[in-house]
């Protein structure tokens, strides 16, 4: 080994660092198969290497897709899962859900809700975080669609409240046997009028009295001015 060099900086001498000794033994050799593949790769023209790379990438993607399709749980499909716990009656927006893919075999029995169905819809049931939002958890466009949280929808025969229209507001009056009346619920909103039935949005505390009076036919209404 050659002697170490000594460098002089102004008034002191410093030993120059020695070069590391080379490792003994023959150089590292790749397996014959890998070596031949590498030589063949670099013999290709740049255009040929691009083509081979593209074909290899396509084959890899096809393999992944095929494995997913042959999964015991079936192929993946697009679903929307709740980011946080969503309470019944709350309004769901697209910011409350994440779009992802689940295997068909792991989906709930009900059909998953689509993106369009989840934009501004109200929930008919609680949806825990991380679960798939399904169509049966959404309120449809029927009389319950605009029911507010804390209220109940009470059906009343249309002949008891003839002439009322959706969105009208009224006081619901229970009629006693002697002809006197008692206000059962105030400022009640008409949710819908369907097939001879008037759906009223009533506070839950008054819902039982209103439903009983409707069943007995001893109910009337006083329409309020808009």
> What pLDDT is attached to residue 202?
93
59 inside domain? yes
> What pLDDT is attached to residue 200?
93
- Would you say residue 168 has pLDDT above 80? yes
CA proximity to 38, closest of 24, 54, 49, 23: 49
> What pLDDT is attached to residue 177?
82
8 inside domain? no
Quote the tokens at residue 88: 């019944």
Beta strands, E only, 123-180:
151-157, 169-175
10 inside domain? no
Split into its structural domains, the chain has a count of 3
> What pLDDT is attached to residue 83?
93
108 inside domain? yes
Is 57 in the same domain as 121?
Answer: no
27 inside domain? no
Task: Return d(Cα 59, Cα 80) in angstroms, integer.
Answer: 30
> What's the mean pLDDT when you consider all of the chain?
80
> What pLDDT is attached to residue 182?
92
Containing domain of residue 215, as a range? 151-223
2 inside domain? no
């Amino acid at each position: 080994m050659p002697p170490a060099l000594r460098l002089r900086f102004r008034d002191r001498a410093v030993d120059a660092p020695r070069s590391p000794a080379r490792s003994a033994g023959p150089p590292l050799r790749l397996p014959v198969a890998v070596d031949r593949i590498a030589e063949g790769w670099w013999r290709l023209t740049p255009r040929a290497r691009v083509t081979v790379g593209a074909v290899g990438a396509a084959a890899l993607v096809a393999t992944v897709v095929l494995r997913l399709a042959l999964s015991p749980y079936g192929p993946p499909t697009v679903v929307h899962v709740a980011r946080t716990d969503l309470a019944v009656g709350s309004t769901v927006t697209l910011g409350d859900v994440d779009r992802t893919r689940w295997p068909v075999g792991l989906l709930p029995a009900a059909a998953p809700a689509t993106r369009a169905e989840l934009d501004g819809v109200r929930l008919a049931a609680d949806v825990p975080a991380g679960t798939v939002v399904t169509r049966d958890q959404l309120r449809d466009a029927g009389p319950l669609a605009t029911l507010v949280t804390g209220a109940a929808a009470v059906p009343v025969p249309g002949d008891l409240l003839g002439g009322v229209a959706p969105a009208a507001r009224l006081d619901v009056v229970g009629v006693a046997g002697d002809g006197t009346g008692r206000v059962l619920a105030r400022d009640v909103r008409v949710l819908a009028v369907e097939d001879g039935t008037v759906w009223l949005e009533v506070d839950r505390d008054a819902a039982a009295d209103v439903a009983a009076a409707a069943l007995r036919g001893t109910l009337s209404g006083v329409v309020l001015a808009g």
